[in-house]
Structures are given as structure tokens and as C-alpha cells.
A and B are shown apart, each in its own frame.
Chain A
């Protein structure tokens, strides 16, 4: 089963990426997807004369919220409670999973329907529920494909983008029956037919399941309102029909006032799917239309990110995926190479901050970028991803050869006289410099030329000729 938040034990990014770029189907799918969405996004963003002002307000509202996060969370808790909802706080994944499992058990049910939520993937909720004898059914078409295919999501917005229609047809025919209503006998690989099969497979489940689990795109502190944006209507099914609704939401998803939605309901759909507005947005406050409502507020490393002055801007992220779609590295390496539910540029800065850089995959993530800056340009809340990447590179533990080299360089550069002596030495020995460095250093020269060392340093030349005057 897919969904554990950490693809732990994953090899480092360079290893995964090297394998992924050999997969020509994957590269073709990714290229088509990212370029299509990129074009649509540019068109609808261009329609708004005040995009720059909206982006500025989006960034500032998030910064303001993060600065006063304690106050706004308390205000949210009060408003949700006043509207008949229940608020739970979870420090980490384990605690959040425990709370959700207990809430489901209290209803006496053994299955839940789920609407796509990155927070619940991050904490591995589906697996945790399975261990307690509770089956979680994903209902987003792409998540259904991923779940039936026993696979990992590879894109924030289109998680099954690595699968083509023939593969999807095969997955539906082989696996649907195991999970519920079987796929029709004569299923073709037409997208319309595949969507229809998913509609039929899920409809009876929606009409009968009593508990739903969701995430949320935004929470409004002032009113206690939760907001979910989606396309297919499976979100509305989960939010509306079941008797009990449990929403697991990261503490950073907060906005102070109802009015702030006027900014984010313009920024998010246009940046995300490249539409003026997504087909469905639901908002609800507390227990609605007779439903029982539980909100689980999730930390799971977010307060660590908040404590880092440079890195905390990653918490502004509204998960639009615009940075993935413009990233030259993502386009070639694909979502799985990042070893986390958060792929692409945002994953490269968020994952190592949430999980730390102890494992090989997490330590390699800050290097999964060419620092071209396209992600920063595209980001609707102006997260300076390259800045955070460079900051994180400074924090990961470097290889021994690199550390020794840097220490030697530091000693040399410390005094001008040392530098001059080393430069003169280099000039005299220049004939002996090889084209390819030995041992672990060859990783550097495999992809780069060693620059020629001049016979005389600039300093020596300047002193000898008095700046060219003699």
C-alpha cells in the first residue's frame, strides 16, 4: 500500500534521478504534463492586471499569520468549538494517526472514505489505520489509480502523471474487484471510459460509508471555517454525505480573516491547474448539516521549520505545484526521485526541514536543483526556494574529501601571503595537473574541465608590471 509519508530507505536523489531519466515513457508524460499546465497557467495569470499585488498580499498574509501563529490557532480553536466542532492537537505523525484511529473506532465503523490530502500521506495515515483494522479508500481518481496500483504519487496535483491510459486500464481491470465494484468487462482505455469506471466503482461507496477523512487548503481563524478546493466532486461527496468528518490539517494552513480568501481563491486555482477557478470549492464551519466534525491540528516538524529564520518561508506554501511544472530537474527526474510526498522544488526544501537531513535521501535533496530560479518566479506566495536551498546546503554534513578541501582552502585564503605562495607553487607545478582527478574527486572532473593554471598569478603580474604601467 502506498501512502506512508516517508519513502524511507530510499537511495539518495542522484541515484533515483539517474534511473528515472532512463525511463522515456516517464519523461514523455512529465514533459507533456508540465508544459501543458505551464502554458495554461501563464494565460490565466496574464489575465489579471494585479497578479503582482495579489502575490505580494499572499506572501504578506502568510508571513503575518506565521508570526502570530499561536494567537490565530487559539482563535481558530475557539471558533470551531463554538460552531459545534471538536479540535485535537497532534505533535507528530504517530499522535495524529492515533487520534484519527480512535475517532473512527468510536463510530464503530471499519472503513473510511478519503479525499486527497498531502498531510495524511505525510503521516502515513492509511497504513496506520490498516493496522487497526480500518480500511481507508482513496476517492480522488489519481489517488485511486495510485492506491489500486500499489504505487507512490509523483506530482502534487496530478499524482498519477507517471501512468498512461493503457497502464490505468490494466490496473482497473486487475484490481478494482479486490477493492469493491469490479471494472466493466469491456473497459477501453478512453479517458472517458476510465473515468466512468471510477465513478461507478466509487458511487456505492460514497452512498454507504459513514466516516470521511479530509485535509484542507485553508482554515480561517476568525470564523473557524475550513476550505477545500477540488475538481471531481469526490471532495464534496466526502465532506457532505458521511455522518462523521475528520479533517487533518497542518498548523500552517491558517489564514487570519474570512476576507483573506479573496486573495488565495485567486492565487491558488490559477497557479495550480491553470484555471480561473477550480470546478468545486467547499467551505464549512464546525458541525454542519447535522454532521459530527473533528479537526486534528498537525505539527509533525512544522514548528522546527518555523524556528529557522531563512527556512520558515517554506511554510507559506499553498501546495499549488507551480514550482514543479517549471522545474527543469523535476521534468527529467520525476516525482519519485525525491523520496517524499512533496516532490519538486518545494519538496527539496520542505522534506529535509520536516524530517532533518540524517538519511542519504534527505541530505541529497538540497542539491536536487540547478538554482535557476524558475520556481521562485512561479511561486504565488514568493517563496525564495533557491535561497532556502543554498541555506540548507550549508547545513548538511559534507563528504570527508570535501570537508578537508574546504578546510585547506580556508587556511590558504586566510592570509594573503599564504595565497601568494600557493599560487606560485601552482604555477610551477602546472604541467603535472591531471585532466581527471583521482578517487572520489573524479565525480567532480567527470562532468567538468579543470581550468588551466596560468604561469603567473594576477597578483604577481600586477606587482611586476605595476598594473601594466611598466
Chain B
């Protein structure tokens, strides 16, 4: 029993950091973007995932990207190629705001 548990812990422990490194993610929960500020390297694809029971919509302040309405569990991906600060908000609930900082 202990061996099985240890093996299981080991599997999850090796999987999770890999996934996190591969796919930087902004989670949408409780009408907020988490993390509110995310720093990535140029060329990184960021995934936005809606974990609320209500749709949200990710829109760049400078209109450089815009998702479709994301229902519960839906994701939106955008690849940030240029360095800089990219502020964004929810097109349905504009008091929700976030920022992606792209730096080498």
C-alpha cells in the first residue's frame, strides 16, 4: 500500500512541474485573473482558462488579441512574440483586469 502511494506521489510530482513550465496559464476564477500579472519570455503561448460558472471574454486593451466568449472550462491561447506590457480586461466584466509582461 505504501509503495503504491509513493509511486503515485512520484508520478504526480514529476508531471506537474513539466506541465506548468510548458504552458503558462492564467486562470479565471471568482471574476478575477490569476495571476493578475504574468511574466513570460517572447514566443510564449499563454493559456487563459475560465473556471467560473459564468462566461468571460479576454480582450487586450490595445485590441491586439481578443478571445471568443469562454464558457466554463473553455480555454483561449495567445502567443506573445513581442516584448512589452500587454494589459487586458474581460470584455463582459471590464472591472476584471490583468497584464502579461513579455521580457527576454
- A in complex with B: no
Instruction: State the B residues within 8 Å of A (CB).
Output: none
Task: Tell me the A residues contacting B by CB distance below 8 Å.
Answer: none
